[in-house]
Chains A and B, each alone.
Chain A
Amino acid sequence: GNSVTQMEGPVTLSEEAFLTINCTYTATGYPSLFWYVQYPGEGLQLLLKATKADDKGSNKGFEATYRKETTSFHLEKGSVQVSDSAVYFCALSVSFGNEKLTFGTGTRLTIIP
């Protein structure tokens, strides 16, 4: 079956630090990969995505590259801000026509000034 494994949290960093949240996956077929984010008091929203190998998704200074050879989609940001504090979920979908998402367990990120 399909599964997503992501870095256990919580993660606490100082402002302007470099961020990496690891995500690896197992999937049948050729998945599309996503990072979703849930800010405090808000609903889950798409942060970025990549739909094929070697694609790089980017948004709000965050980046993730679809690595088929290592089945990974690690989330990175060069300089985090307090406003990046949130829970981050890695996810995949496999089938066109039923793009149900398989999620990781989420990583809570806290940025301290």
Chain B
Amino acid sequence: GAGVSQSPSNKVTEKGKDVELRCDPISGHTALYWYRQRLGQGLEFLIYFQGNSAPDKSGLPSDRFSAERTGESVSTLTIQRTQQEDSAVYLCASSLIYQNQPQHFGDGTRLSIL
């Protein structure tokens, strides 16, 4: 597609449920990033993929969070046993692998935990 696509755009779920968030990066972009934006705060880095490997998972807040990527394509961020503090906008970005290439962001998934 023309840009980074994320789905769903909105997700409301009950505390304790598992959720899956999907990201379709721009075709040919080897690098893929997940960020989280809590209300009134800046974006926090979660995880970085280079191809289908994740050399940097340092931003994942707990072991309830995991992510995978198929080749240089779709990525899924999974949150297990959701908590209210997981409520946020989850943003995905992709870029070429060369130095200082701009990251292209999707519109995000707004996750609300009741």
Q: Which A positions have Cβ atoms within 8 angstroms of B?
A: 4, 32, 34, 36, 42-46, 49, 51, 89, 91, 96-106
Q: What is the CB-to-nearest-CB distance from A35 to chain B, in angstroms, rounded to a whole number?
A: 11
Determine the residue in chain A with the shortest Cβ distance to B91.
A44
Instruction: Please list the 10 inter-chain residue pairs (A to B) with the smallest Cβ-Cβ separation, ordered nearest first.
Output: A103-B42, A44-B105, A105-B42, A103-B43, A46-B102, A43-B107, A100-B45, A96-B99, A43-B105, A98-B56
Which residues of B are found within 8 Å of A97, using beta-carbon distances?
Answer: 50, 97
Known interface pairs A44-B91, A98-B48, A98-B56; A104-B42 also in contact (CB < 8 Å): yes
Q: Which B positions have Cβ atoms within 8 angstroms of A?
A: 3-4, 31, 33, 35, 40-45, 48, 50, 55-56, 59, 91, 93, 95, 97, 99-108
Known interface pairs A43-B106, A44-B91; A101-B100 also in contact (CB < 8 Å): no
Which residues of A are found within 8 Å of B41, using beta-carbon distances?
Answer: 105
Determine the residue in chain B with the shortest Cβ distance to A34.
B102
